[in-house]
Every structure is written in structure tokens, then in C-alpha cells.
Amino acid sequence: MADDPTPRRPRSWSDIPADIAGLVLRLLPAHADRARFAAVCPQWRATARQRPLPPPPPLPLLALPDGTFYSPPYDEPFRFPGFGFAGYKATCGSRLVFPRDDGCFLVNPFTGATVTLPALSSVRLRPPNAVAKYDQQGTAYPVTWMHIRGSEHLHISKLILCLPSLVAAIVGDGHISQILVCKPGGLSWSVRAYDMVRNFQDMAFYQGKLYAIANDDEDLLVVNISQDQSTGDPQVSKIGQAIKGEPFHSVWHEFGTMDILANKKLYLVESHGSLLMIRRKIWCWSKQASDTDPEASRPIVAGPNEFEVFKADFEQSRWVKMTTLGDEQVLFLGRRCSRAMSVSQYGMSGDQIFFLDDEEENLKQYYYSTEITSFCVCDMRDGQVDSPLPKASWKRCDEMRPVAWLFPQD
């Protein structure tokens, strides 16, 4: 039989059936890989958009305030085209938060969509005629929103888009803060003017309710939301206690020529249908006072990190300590945004915590022995901490403090 003289068309990536391409997409853990997948050809781009079987969420990006991003497990920085996205102050899921004098803007760098919130200068007081109160000695006690609202250091440390009609934020100065709420596109935030400010550490919207936790007592607080009858805007009607905490309080210990103390940070994360509290201890050290110069400066320097995980038991109103996150689960912790993710489909080890330095604006609790930092990983099985991508790094300074996780699918 004579050879077929008809030349065969070279095989192309577009020849791969859409269902097979979809399976490939589901196995890509990094956002950068999924972007490259969509750029291969029009057919694969369509597969990435249609996704009849949605792929699991990709790993989060690491966002830097200078407009640089990292896409783990890669350590090469990149930037989004167009608007540079530099200068954000917080993150909210897949959005970067830009507070401005004329409003607060939540920008999604993946789609370009923007959600507009009121400026922090526009706050509706409850009651409307609230004033700052002082005792006979001129001392503000208790300290309330009325005493801190004029601070030039007032900032958003945490923001959650709870519902299409509800946004909650922790707003404060240093170690004191208050919870404010508003609706997207609204004209003002709402605050309970006479509630005592707290050292709020985190918030989470869990099973239709807003929860918060403060550093001092580790109580889980439930923030009840109602509707302003005159404007229809959300407002905090009451903050109650859902779980009574058993807080960890650290004291200085002598260790050789050093004094040792644990600083504490708290996080709230939903995982496998449960609400978790993560207690992070940063063990700090300082040289003991000298007999010859007891007034000499003794800088406090950050050392090793230690993590404890607790699950909320609402029936017994208590925190239950956990020894493992599970072989498939990891946590990404950050002051601005935290999430739990399943990573078994990506061939990654579970039972790990990925975390950032998480310094708060206008609150310097300790120094570091190194100038350059990166994200770190704690293995819950043995407590060992490692820095897996040392090249994905940045300099510790005020401008880079808002480094945060950014979650592409939200």
C-alpha cells in the first residue's frame, strides 16, 4: 500500500481534551502555574474559565506593600500588570485594602473589581451624642472609642467581608482597638461609643456569626449585629461572651545571664467546620541588668516560636486543646488574613502552620536579630520551625509591616 501523501498536522496542546486539561488544572497548587496554564492556548483558557468541576483553591500569594508578590512554592517575585497595587495597608481574602481620606477601597488584583467602604473619618456613634468621659483626676477610664478616634495612628488591622451587606473591622492604635461595622457602599461605619477598647487580636465570621478574641483574657466574644432602623445600615447591638478563656500569662524567667519572656499572639481560623484559636508564643530574651549599670538599655529580642491550637466547644463553653491539625490540613496565619487549607491533593505534607512576623503598627514589642525575614513553617508533629523559601524575603521596616497572605479564590 502506498504511503498517504497527506501531511499530518503537528499535534498541539489544544488537542488535549478539555476534561483531561481540567484534571491537569486541578493538580496545580500555585496561582502562578494556573495563570500559565490559561496562557497556553485559547482552549485551555476556556477550560480555566469554565471549570465544570471547580479545582481546589490554589495556595495563597504572599503580598508585599511595595507591589511585589510571591506565589509559593516559587521564590521569584512578580507584579500584576497595570495598577501596581503598592501601598495597601491590609488584605481581605482576595482583596487588597487601601484606606484613603475619601474612602476605603478593597481591590481584587486578579479581576480588578473594587469594593468601596466609608473612610475611617466617617463613623456613626451609638449613642449619637456620645462624648469622651474623664474622672475627677482627668483620667480616661474606661478608655473608649471616644478617646482614640482622633489618633493620627488610627488604622485597620483586620477587615472581614462577612456578607454582601456586612463588613467588620478591627480599628485601633497600638494595643487598643474597637470593632466597627458598615455595609459596602455605605456612607459611614458604626461603633458602640462607650464600650471599653480592648487588645483585639482577631475576628472570624463563622456559621453566620461574627466572633472576636482579645489578647488579655482569651475569651471568645460573639458580636451581635442588628440593623439601624433609620438608615438600614448594620450596627453592633451587643458583644457577649461565647467561651470563657483560660489565658496564658508569661512572666520573666532567668536563664543563665538572660531573662526570658514569651510574647503572645492569637488567631481565629475556621477548619473542617470548627472554629480554632491558635496561640502563638514568641520567646524573647534580654540581657540581665548589670550590677555596675542597672539603668543600661536592655533590648528585648525575639527568639523561637511555639504554637498551641484549641478548638471551640460551644456546648461546654470552653477551648479544647488539639495536638494535630490532621495529615491533610495546613494553616496560613497572618494578622491581616488567615485561612485553613487542605493540601493533600498537591502532594504537600499537612499538619503544618505557615506564619508571618505580624508586627502591629505603632506597637514595637521586641526587636529581631536579623534584618531580613521571610515566612516560616512550623511542623505540628515535632514543633520544628523552618524557612522553606529564604529567597522570598523582605527587609524588616515600617513600610513592609503589612506583608500578608492573599487568597486568589474568594
pLDDT tens digits, residue range 186-245? 999 999 999 999 999 999 999 999 999 999 899 999 999 999 988 899 999 999 999 999
Q: Are 244 and 309 in contact (CB under 8 A)?
A: no
* Residue 219, pLDDT score: 97
Q: Percent of the chain having pLDDT more than 90?
A: 62
Residue 124: partners with Cβ closer than 8 Å, 6 or more residues away: 188, 189, 190, 191, 228, 231, 233, 235
pLDDT at 310 over 90: yes
C-alpha cell at 16: 488535549
* Residue 168, pLDDT score: 98
C-alpha cell at 14: 489544544
| CA 240 remoteness from chain centre | 23
Q: Which domain holds residue 49?
A: 15-56
Q: pLDDT band for position 326 (50/70/90)?
A: very high
Domain count, the chain: 2
Residue 10 covered by a domain: no
Residue 410 covered by a domain: no
The C-alpha atoms of residue 38 and residue 40 are separated, in whole angstroms, by: 6
Residue 377 covered by a domain: yes
* Residue 341, pLDDT score: 94
Residue 335 covered by a domain: yes
Average pLDDT, the chain: 87
Task: Write the DSSP assignment of 197-219 as a string of letters.
Answer: PB-EEEEEEETTEEEEEETTT--
pLDDT at 257 over 90: no
Q: pLDDT band for position 410 (50/70/90)?
A: very low
pLDDT digits (tens, 9 = 90+) for 15-48: 667 666 666 666 665 666 666 665 566 665 666 5
Q: pLDDT band for position 365 (50/70/90)?
A: confident
Residue 347 covered by a domain: yes
Q: Which of 44-53, 114-123, 131-140, 388-397 has the lowest mean pLDDT?
A: 44-53
Q: pLDDT band for position 398 (50/70/90)?
A: confident
The C-alpha atoms of residue 146 and residue 72 are separated, in whole angstroms, by: 43
Residue 392 covered by a domain: yes
Residue 6 covered by a domain: no
pLDDT at 334 over 70: yes
Q: 6, 23, 56: which is the final residue of a domain?
A: 56
- The mean pLDDT of 100-113, rounded to a whole number, is 91
- Provide the terminal-to-terminal Cα distance of the chain, rounded to the nearest Å: 60
Q: pLDDT band for position 253 (50/70/90)?
A: confident
pTM: 0.87
Residue 316 covered by a domain: yes
182: three-class secondary structure by DSSP? strand
List Cα–Cα distances, 80 to 111, 179, 394, in angstroms.
11, 32, 18
Q: Are 120 and 154 in contact (CB under 8 A)?
A: yes
